[in-house]
Structure 1
Amino acid sequence: MATQDRQAVLTILSLALGAFAIGVSEFAAMGLLPYYAADLSVTEPEAGHAVSAYALGVVVGAPVLAVLGSMIPRKLLLILLISFFGLGNLLSSMSTDLTTLIIGRFASGLPHGAFLGISMLFAAEFSPEGRKARGVAQVLMGLTIANVIGVPLAGAAGQVFGWRLCFVVTAAIAAASALMITRVAPNVQTGPMPSPLRELGALANRAVWSTLMIGAIGFGGVFAVYSYFSAAMLDATTAPAWAIPAALSGFGLGGVLGNLIAGRLADWSRLGGALLLLVGMVLMSLLYTVVIGDWMMMSLSIFLLGTTASLAIPLQMRLMDVAGEAQTLAAALNHAAFNAANALGPFLAGRALAAGHGWGATGQVGAALAAGGILMLALAWFESRSRARRVMPAVMPAE
């Protein structure tokens, strides 16, 4: 393997390791919700505020850190972001009440979007034309592998050793990612150095906003179901103790399969690939509502739902197509949008549960949010068609 190719592989691996840490922290916090709710003496809907706090941290931190970080070389910025993420997880592990946990989760979420967004840009730059979406998928594979290995182990450890261990281990993985990026990532900056003013240009781009709205609403379908899956399994079934970690691993395996599919779908069609994933999300959420109480069918439905969880890939590729010179902010905003969905999904599902509608309501909320994402996708498609018609006369030769 040529030296440059080897460096590209190691760089993507170092970024995927950081994505792995983020995936464990984000998704394991949902799976461990019943345990820290009991330890901190709060109800499960109240404990869900810690999940929403992380998501809100991403929503706030992604655009702010992407704009401010545009003045810093990308390699250094990535190291700083994943290091701060690790510190936020250490704070979470030391929480003695819900308020402290919410603060720790919010702090952990701040660097999430900017780190993943910039990592995906790196991966696309290292990949040849026609395979850029698959390069992005390789970085995001860290998130999906986290769900296969990290999240189930965290769930099992939470049952035996307590939920705090998850955040300590996550901080250690983040430190390993920071060290590896320091050693293997290139120092070169491809293209012009981003600037805050140029990055802020994304905020005036209608195509950027229409794309972000697809993920902000539609992906709430996954989080509405996933956030309360462990609690539903414990309360509504007689599943053995190993069933919850196994089911969470199944969700991750579904994500790995979905990642492989989504990279190819995105190289085929950005919006077409997103549409197929959202339709699958609606169907799997509805399936979940009718199998509540049967732990084996619930496990199957969460696996199938996981295959739709790679929606970020086609949407990221569309943002790269339409964001112009504001690539860094647009990439970070993509993850902010998905974590707006992370806040919206658990919040609406929690409201439905608090109103006494039962565990099946989380699937109904999920299906409704995914359907909302399809509506946003239709609006984005019409907006792109309208823009194409406006541009076409300017490029046609005079008659």
Structure 2
Amino acid sequence: MNDQSPTRSATRSPGPAWVLFALAMGAFAIGTAEFAAMSLVPFFARDLGITEVEAGHAISAYALGVVVGAPLIAMFGARFRRKLLLIALMAVFAVGNALSAVAPDQPADRTASPLRELGALRRPQVLLTLASGAIGFGGLFAVYTYVASTMIEVTGLSEASVPLVLGIFGVGMTLGNLAGARAADRARDTTAMAMLAWSAVMLAIYPFVAHNPVALGVIIFLIGMGGGVGSVMQVRLMDVAGDAQTLAAAAHHSAFNTANALGPWLAGMAIAAGYGLTSAGFIGSVLALCGLAIYVLAVVLERGEKARLAATPC
């Protein structure tokens, strides 16, 4: 005799495959909105009758909206049921993303509060990790925002080739995330620092090869691989955030979009000053190096704190 009630069977959570499918669809929709707009700067600049630098400011404005919105939603939505909150937000973004409804429910955290979540921002390691991501990741966005313009005006490729190169970038970023995640399981901080250094080098090479179509495709792929540092940063942030996991996750997204705003803005300033589209690579390299320096500082301070705690008598 089956003692499983119909109610219990009907409310059984979907399997992991459905959950991953829902998350992939949501990430695809949001990622397309963010990355597609960035890579199509010359086209919507032309349609709107503005310069490409001014169009780049629109990317920064969008990113700043996320920077402000993500932590606010994390704080004030902390006491709501996760599934209902997710569905409501995705429905505002796009009706198609209602596929997120298949995700399993997660009970609301009755102990959650805005003050507890904000406590994460009092931790130096959290702030340093966010700063490293907000600045270091900006290097990738500095180049990516103007890569279509560079392809057309510097490399001499046709507009029809833009999707191909952007696809190459996407493959690189996908592989970078997979490789970075595997390496981070064994050495989190070493992986993050190595990937930031990788980005700095690849971005510095970019201006010297942008005139060659084949070399441009290769370097765009390699720059994309450096984007895998984002997942490693997320892991570190969750590790150092303590019990404020919700705000830590949202703050990571804010840092990511701060980079999204900072990179195009600084690259746009260099281009407007007459240094050319390829100068975005040098700007990006400097940003990656600054992010690396902040990350190294965070690691040094963390290890020093652990050494002091170990030396303190119980």
Same fold, TM exceeding 0.5? yes
Cα distance in 2 for residues equivalent to 1:293 and 1:223: 20
- Equivalent residue in structure 2 for 1:310, among 212, 216, 228: 228
Q: Is the 8 A contact 1:53 1:343 kept in 2?
A: yes
Q: TM-score normalized by structure 1?
A: 0.73
1:68 aligns with 2:76: yes
Q: Is the 8 A contact 2:13 2:104 kept in 1?
A: no
Deviation of 1:84 after TM superposition, in Å, equals 2.2
The 5-angstrom pairing of residues 30-109 of structure 1 reads 30-86=38-94
- Equivalent residue in structure 1 for 2:270, among 349, 352, 355: 352
1:181 aligns with 2:189: no
Gaps of 5+ in 1: 87-174
Cα distance in 1 for residues equivalent to 2:237 and 2:13: 26
Q: TM-score normalized by structure 2?
A: 0.92
Deviation of 1:318 after TM superposition, in Å, equals 1.0
1:293 alignment partner, SS class: coil
Give the 3 Å change call, closer, same or farther, for CA 210–316 of structure 1 in structure 2: same
The 5-angstrom pairing of residues 1-399 of structure 1 reads 7-86=15-94, 175-178=95-98, 180-182=99-101, 184-189=102-107, 193-394=111-312
Deviation by residue 1:235-292 (Cα, 9 ceiling, x = unmatched): 1122134321100000000011111101112211221111111111011101111012
Q: Which amino acid aligns with 1:177?
A: N
Q: Which amino acid aligns with 1:43?
A: T
Q: Is the 8 A contact 2:203 2:223 kept in 1?
A: yes
Deviation of 1:330 after TM superposition, in Å, equals 0.5
Q: Which amino acid aligns with 1:293?
A: H
Q: Is the 8 A contact 1:266 1:313 kept in 2?
A: no
Q: Is the 8 A contact 2:80 2:108 kept in 1?
A: no
2:50 alignment partner, SS class: coil
Deviation of 1:190 after TM superposition, in Å, equals 8.0
Q: Percent identity?
A: 47
Query: How big is the alpha-carbon RMSD for the aligned residues of Structure 1 and Structure 2?
Result: 1.8
1:223 alignment partner, SS class: helix
Gaps of 5+ in 2: 1-10
Cα distance in 2 for residues equivalent to 1:4 and 1:324: 31
Give the 3 Å change call, closer, same or farther, for CA 6–269 of structure 1 in structure 2: farther
Q: 2:8 maps to what in 1?
A: none
Q: Is the 8 A contact 2:152 2:158 kept in 1?
A: no
1:355 alignment partner, SS class: helix
Q: Which amino acid aligns with 2:21?
A: L
Deviation of 1:5 after TM superposition, in Å, equals 8.9
Aligned pair count reads: 304
2:275 alignment partner, SS class: coil
1:75 alignment partner, SS class: helix
Deviation of 1:352 after TM superposition, in Å, equals 0.3
Q: Which amino acid aligns with 2:249?
A: A
Cα distance in 2 for residues equivalent to 1:21 and 1:84: 12
Cα distance in 1 for residues equivalent to 2:14 and 2:198: 37
Q: Is the 8 A contact 1:289 1:360 kept in 2?
A: yes
Q: Is the 8 A contact 1:265 1:314 kept in 2?
A: no
Deviation of 1:193 after TM superposition, in Å, equals 4.9
Deviation of 1:36 after TM superposition, in Å, equals 1.1
